[in-house]
Amino acid sequence: MTDVIRVDPATPDPAALAEAAECLRRGGLVAFPTETVYGLGVHALDRAAVRRLFEAKGRPANDPLIVHVDAVERMEPLVAQVTEPARQLAARFWPGPLTLVLPRSGRVPDEVTAGLNTVAIRVPAHPVARALLTAAGVPVAAPSANLFSRPSPTRASHVLDDLSGRIDLVIDGGPTQVGVESTVLDLSGDVPTILRPGAVSLDMLRAILPHVERRGSDTPSSGALPSPGLLERHYSPRAPLTVYDGSDAVARLLRDACASIAQGQRVGIMVADEDRPALASVEGLAPRPTIVDLGPAHDLARVASRLYAALRELDASGVDRILARGFPGDEGLATAIRDRLRRASAQS
Ligand code: TXA
Ligand code: MG
């Protein structure tokens, strides 16, 4: 049985969180909201509990977890050394959607790091996550609270859809704000490298550390295995997803939608608000397509916050395929949205 506790996202009830914290300390699996997506938390120093978490998610054991703490000082025992760049980035971006990968200390179990000699750490900003971490008083390893390879959960209902009966508790603090997972920055090698793009952009990081690179540019790897969260197929809906980029994206999307509908397929369409008038031509067709608006194309914060919920909504409506427009741009969220859409649409 999975219990659900509802809390006010801004001022969560301390008694409710005390219960959840106790569950974590005893080795339980507790899903909780962060500002990015819901995490599935477990006592990071409890090896048996960490193994149960991998089992509950169906996650391969070679995919390391992010350890969440409530303050920079709590990171110290977990890493070999808090380097100067780490200190500067933490001062600027924590609490917030940035994860730092650093050489680890001996205290962090192999189960958490998948045997790597580095550990990923983040101080989340969501008031519920912060209060929970403080109440628990232990480092909390937390992947996104979805079944492996499914879209990350941005609402408690998404967590329950994937993990009901497999975990102890869900803290329902309403929808998350950012909607895509944290930026993962590897500080363990010579060149600080973004392993996963997120709301903290390359430019924001370069304002603090000028030599940050994106992964994929010709930076020498730190010797670590490729970050498994960077698996090509990830964050995927069940229905195959096709993404349309470029200036004629919506026209091509419409043409393919019409062709699929003509073959009797149930089609899901994911677009921006301003694409809606152009869709009038397919809206009247049978079988009627299911259309989800992500918000105005320029409002990437809104688009990112709705992205995973939209993929899950379309899946739940039973469509045979999903057609989505891409979102151009170079800022952090545009890069993150493109990255997630690309992986969600990759063939297995
Ligand atoms: O926003 C987030 O980061 C959310 C919330 C819950 O905090 N968490 C999350 O966790 O997205 P997860 O497990 O779904 O993704 C963790 C990513 C994976 O890509 C993993 O490979 C990478 O972080 N990672 C973890 N430890 C690492 C390490 N030592 N070296 C390189 N990559 C690491
Ligand atoms: Mg994940």
E strands of the chain, at which residues? Answer: 3-6, 30-33, 38-43, 66-68, 98-103, 118-122, 140-141, 169-172, 183-186, 193-196, 213-214, 241-244, 267-271, 290-293, 321-325
How far apart, in whole angstroms, are the C-alpha atoms of residue 126 and residue 134? 12
- Is it true that the peptide bond before 175 is cis, omega within 30 degrees of 0? no
Q: Is the CB of 66 under 6 A from ligand 1?
A: yes
Does the model's pTM come out above 0.75? yes
Query: Cα of 152 to ligand 2 centre, how many Å?
Result: 6
Q: Which atom of ligand 1 is nearest to the CA of 97?
A: 1
Q: Is the CB of 336 under 6 A from ligand 1?
A: no
- Asked if residue 220 has pLDDT above 90, the reply is no
| Residue labelled with tokens 């958490």 | 112
Which element (helix H / strand E) includes 68?
strand 66-68
| Residue labelled with tokens 């975990």 | 167
Max CA distance (Å), the chain: 62
Q: Is the CB of 143 under 6 A from ligand 1?
A: yes
**Interval 146-151 mean pLDDT:** 93
Ligand 1 pocket: which of 57, 144, 176 to mutate (most atoms <8 Å of CB)? 144
**What pLDDT sits at residue 224?**
42
Q: Is the CB of 183 under 6 A from ligand 1?
A: no
**Residue with CA closest to ligand 1 atom 32:** 227
What pLDDT band is residue 347 in, cutting at 50, 70 and 90?
confident
Average pLDDT taken over every residue of the chain: 94
How far apart, in whole angstroms, are the C-alpha atoms of residue 26 and residue 146? 22
What pLDDT band is residue 234 in, cutting at 50, 70 and 90?
confident
Residues having C-beta closer than 5 Å to ion ligand 2: 144
What pLDDT band is residue 218 in, cutting at 50, 70 and 90?
very low
Q: What is the pLDDT of residues 264-321, one digit of tens each?
A: 999 999 999 999 999 999 999 999 999 999 999 999 999 999 999 999 999 999 999 9
Q: Is the CB of 4 under 6 A from ligand 1?
A: no
**What pLDDT sits at residue 57?**
96
Q: 10 Å Cβ neighbour count for 320?
A: 14
**What pLDDT sits at residue 222?**
41
Q: What is the pLDDT of residues 60-119, one digit of tens each?
A: 999 999 999 999 999 999 999 999 999 999 999 999 999 999 999 999 999 999 999 999
- Asked if residue 323 has pLDDT above 60, the reply is yes
Q: Is the CB of 36 under 6 A from ligand 1?
A: yes
Q: Identify whether the C-beta of residue 295 lies closer than 8 Å to the C-beta of residue 303.
A: yes
**Residue with CA closest to ligand 1 atom 19:** 229
Ligand nearest to the CA of 198: 1
**Residue with CA closest to ligand 1 atom 7:** 39
Q: Is the CB of 142 under 6 A from ligand 1?
A: yes
Q: What one-character DSSP code corresponds to residue 98? A: E
**Interval 12-28 mean pLDDT:** 97
| Residue labelled with tokens 């999307």 | 253
